[in-house]
Amino acid sequence: MGERKVRLFKRRVTPKSAGLRLDTYIFVSGTGFSRTQIQRAIKEGKVLVNGRKVRASYKVKAGDYVEAEFEIMETPTEIVPQEGELEILYEDGDMVVINKPPGMVVHPAKGHFTGTVVNFLYHKLLNAPGAERRRPGIVHRLDKDTSGVMVIGKSELAVRELARQIAAKEAKRIYLTVVWGDVERSGTVEAPIGRHPIYRERMAITVINAKPSTTDYRPLKRFGFATLLEVSLRTGRTHQIRVHMEYLGHPVVGDPVYSGRDLGSITRVLKGKVAPVEKILSLIDRQALHAWKLKLRHPRSGKRFEFVAPLPDDFVYLLNFLEGFAV
């Protein structure tokens, strides 16, 4: 059985954090609570700013005093440290940057208690002399079948500052994706994303309990029936690129959830164009989506970094095959 405890949060807002939504500010301050838990506490009046109840959308100001009371049910949880290989792009005492392979889950969860990024990094930190944190600080995630660059905090300072940069959109994430159809021009998709009203494991364009979502894209290479796009996020919603590309009418190649493997949907997108659809789907058994670049400031020194994650083999095979159809 779990034990019910109360965790207190008290903090003075610094100028660097001014302008963030209250729920976002608490989230990036390293409480360990989800946005949903934080928003619930705010709604229940358990979060005060300068002694007053405010909304989750309140924009914090420098000097604001935020205090919160979170009631939690503590249950025994254990993350199993595992020795495993991860492609490390950069590492120092504050952070580690990896190139996550497709098929790897980021954090242990139901059905995936081992073999995750956290399992492997936990083993690494446990065996690192002088490490400030023993558990890796996950500040953003990638879907299981999305590959590419991720940054993980190793110090308390890094976890707070990296999470703040991600939430404030100061850190820039740029993706590569191959979508069905011919995308001729750059553009922007602005459409709210929320949980699908029927299929709860999916996200959807909806006005019900949705959040504003914006995605920028530009074509890098066109193949007539498919297009290689560079995509950047102005917001960070679950499955954002995959949902927005389907909404645009150009689902991500190979995406099993958002029309990227559905022959009927692909046929409608191609509008009569002949394409080696079955061959393409045999080359990549997941969504053709790769987190390519990550731009951020070092959490301690403030130095600007840009990390680039090499493409995984299946993505390379796909692009090599499509090269013969370039227009």
Amino acid 75: pLDDT? 45
Number of domains comprising the chain: 3
**Does 313 map to a domain?**
no
User: Tens digit of pLDDT for each residue in 248-279?
Assistant: 999 999 999 999 999 999 999 999 999 999 99
Could you tell me if 61 and 125 lie in one domain?
A: no
Could you tell me if 145 and 231 lie in one domain?
A: no
Could you tell me if 153 and 258 lie in one domain?
A: no
Spans in the chain with pLDDT lower than 70: 1-6, 30-32, 72-77, 130-131
Q: Which residues pair with 59 in a beta bridge?
A: 21
Amino acid 314: pLDDT? 97
DSSP 289: E
Q: Is the dihedral of CA 20, 195, 240, 118 positive or negative?
A: positive
Amino acid 2: pLDDT? 43
- Name the domain boundary from 119, 139, 167: 167
Greatest C-alpha distance within the chain: 65
Q: Are 147 and 87 a contacting pair, CB within 8 Å?
A: no
Q: In 3-state terms, what secondary structure has residue 156?
A: helix
What CATH number does the domain containing 33 carry? Answer: 3.10.290.10
What CATH number does the domain containing 124 carry? Answer: 3.30.2350.10
Domain span at residue 44 reads: 3-74
**Does 303 map to a domain?**
no
Question: For residues 147 and 31, what is the distance between their CA atoms, to the nearest angstrom?
Answer: 28
Amino acid 130: pLDDT? 66
Amino acid 72: pLDDT? 64
Q: Is 143 a catalytic residue?
A: yes
Question: For residues 52 and 57, what is the distance between their CA atoms, to the nearest angstrom?
Answer: 14
**Does 243 map to a domain?**
yes
Q: Are 297 and 304 a contacting pair, CB within 8 Å?
A: yes
- Name the domain boundary from 74, 90, 116: 74
Amino acid 5: pLDDT? 60
Beta-strand relationship, 147-153 and 289-297 = parallel
Q: In 3-state terms, what secondary structure has residue 115?
A: coil
Could you tell me if 227 and 258 lie in one domain?
A: yes
Could you tell me if 67 and 131 lie in one domain?
A: no
The pTM of this model reads 0.80
- Name the domain boundary from 74, 109, 131: 74
Among residues 64, 94, 143, 182, the one annotated as catalytic is: 143
**Does 301 map to a domain?**
no
Amino acid 195: pLDDT? 87
Query: Which amino acid is located at 244 in the chain?
Result: H
Amino acid 134: pLDDT? 75
Could you tell me if 186 and 275 lie in one domain?
A: yes
Residues ≥6 apart with Cβ < 8 Å to 93? 132, 154, 155
Q: Are 80 and 69 a contacting pair, CB within 8 Å?
A: no
DSSP 213: -
